Chains A and B, each alone.
Chain A
């Protein structure tokens, strides 16, 4: 069905707000906490490890509290507020132990901390204060690298053409949809190509993908089609949920095209040891 769409306006949905100027970014801290996220934890752990390596290379010590689990988003978006709140409280307690800035390699979990925790705890003034402080010190990986570490990446990989998928939460909750682009721009041999309807949702939406598999499946099929047709050799994204959705769909369709986490891509391109493996 998707080929029918190709006479449509290619980027009509690029309606995102311009990059927010007023978020205050602190000086580079000595140490941060990495909140790995449950999807990265179980399905893309190497992306989490690469995020740690990228941060360490910038001279930032990384803490990974072993008590962390999930941000609570699946229950929250399913309407199970109490269950979401209990899990959120557990993460809040863990992240408050050190009080360090929190770096998250996923826009949607970052959005959960920054935007949905305050809604969850709106009725608990004392907890709300802690939640607001957490929101203030939570950063998506790409914005932390770019705005706080002011990273300068030296590309050591072979020329490559890639497509970038930005999650809706990065785009609309975290306002970090342009940070990944800027990071990729630093890589000399990497060409980023636009794909059709780039700013449109990949169809994951957490439990939406299993509650409405018909609609979600149509969305991810369109997304994978436009990624493949973009001429890129691979896709990168800074969101574990989208990655699981897009790669799972590609594999089901027996396509060879794949996506990977931006952290892994950046680390491989810029790390001397592995540079030869890229291309």
Chain B
């Protein structure tokens, strides 16, 4: 798992990677401990269930309402940002977005970029794109810095290096930076801080993500805890923000409950240490701030999800990561197993629109549909329902028109026939009862191996008599009326 994962070249081998991760005791322990802690923090941040449910309902309404007039809001956002002196760029694909970002850097003859945390920039694989063109990108979020140093990808959308413990980070700093080994987290942070401080001052361009883009005022809101977001967006002479088109909300009032939902769901915080509201470049009478501010709005498949009333709900996401923190599958296999930018339950429902379902054919099945993700989602995305929908899209005949990009990847004529047989069995009572009779009568002949089931279980042996049989006798004896 320590190898860098080039997202676009991945083989769709979820199960192989899962098996590897499951065998890694350290990795599993790191995740279990971290996820337990995050679940506890979230639970403590919402002590009042009524308040929590009311807020989730409100969050859902705000996001759904914003999406229902997405084109208008985006237009308003562009207009207001432009009035504020922010240059707005539109990108349909990650290639376009990268080329826009590179163009801005090139125009300034820049060679060094310092980055605040941005999942959209991960989606773009911006670091690689720019590195190939001679621009050095340095991640300034502590977690991102750690994974960048180890040539990895984030394993969690909020805590990119959550798969590592302090000892592993210490070893990494020792190996890569020649620092003395220490497991003191404060000292580790100081090491990162020393390197990064200098870079903030040297960088030609700062790149950041956006948590909420406010249409009414043309404001970009960014929450963070390390101050690196503020440094990246204010210290370098140019600030480029990159974000998905679904991040737009109508006004500042709407942001209040959404930020509360975000920070409490993500880390159990009432609010983050820093809340940055960016409304434009430095004005003539101001002492600091960037000379130029750009916003790149990325589509990358989002309009595909938008066009489908049910799948549109995926765009409610405010990227808090609570679904992965509560997911029993994610907790066991970790973020890298998903092999995509967005891991966990939310990754399973948004990645198909970006990469195509055929790139991640196993993802919809990698869930017991336990429902924990849907239960904690702050904007009430019905994640299990959408996973079921994707399972349907997955098994559609690929020769027919698809509703989700790359649908039909798991189409199997054999499996279709098995389910037809199952249907016949369960819709013809006489056939079903004959099956029960045979299965209970010849129970000793039940196979000792039942495919993957017997990898984890003893072979299932039918009972001596079925409930159909027992109930008929019982109700007959008791004067009941078997219908």
Enumerate chain A interface residues (CB-CB to B < 8 A).
Answer: 1, 4-5, 7-9, 12-18, 34, 36, 38, 40-46, 48-49, 52, 56, 61-70, 72, 74-81, 83, 86-87, 89-90, 97-98, 119, 168-169, 171-173, 200-201, 203-222, 244-245, 248-249, 251-252
Contacts and interface: CB of A to CB of B under 8 A. Distances in A.
A16 B15 CA distance: 29
Closest 10 CB pairs of A and B: A205-B368, A248-B457, A79-B391, A201-B370, A217-B456, A251-B458, A48-B467, A45-B467, A172-B371, A64-B471
B466 A79 contact: no
Contacts of A65: 482-483
B367 A49 contact: no
A9 B36 contact: yes
A87 B429 CA distance: 11
Nearest to A90: B427
A248 B460 CA distance: 7
12 contacts: A9-B37, A12-B43, A45-B467, A48-B470, A66-B433, A75-B419, A79-B388, A87-B426, A208-B365, A220-B456, A248-B457, A249-B457
A215 to B, nearest CB: 5
A210 to B, nearest CB: 4
B51 interface: no
Interface of A is mostly: helix
A119 B385 CA distance: 10
Contacts of A78: 391, 395, 419
A265 B432 CA distance: 29
Interface in B31-63: 32-33, 35-37, 39-40, 42-43, 49, 53
Interface stretch (B74-82, B127-135, B183-191, B328-336): B328-336
B209 to A, nearest CB: 28
B395 A80 contact: yes
A122 B458 CA distance: 39
Interface stretch (B21-29, B276-284, B347-355): B21-29
Nearest to B385: A119
Nearest to B43: A15
B470 A46 contact: yes
B94 interface: no
B481 A63 contact: yes
Interface of B is mostly: helix
A36 B468 contact: yes
B392 interface: yes
Contact of A215 (B329, B427, B453, B460): B329
Contacts of B39: 9, 12-13, 15
Which residue of A18, A34, A63, A201 has the most chain B CB atoms within 10 A of its CB atom?
A201
A8 to B, nearest CB: 4
Contact of B388 (A15, A77, A217): A77
B432 A61 contact: no
Contacts of B32: 4-5, 8
B456 A248 contact: yes
Interface in B413-437: 416, 419-420, 422-423, 425-427, 429, 432-433, 436
Contacts of A86: 423, 427
B375 interface: yes
A169 B451 CA distance: 26
A248 B462 contact: no
B53 A210 contact: no
A67 B429 CA distance: 5
Nearest to B23: A1
Contacts of B451: 210
A79 B392 contact: yes
A42 B439 contact: yes
B482 A64 contact: yes
Contact of A42 (B25, B375, B462): B462
A61 B482 CA distance: 10
A77 B391 contact: yes
A42 B436 contact: yes
B19 interface: yes
B286 interface: no
A42 B426 contact: no
B315 to A, nearest CB: 21
B374 to A, nearest CB: 7
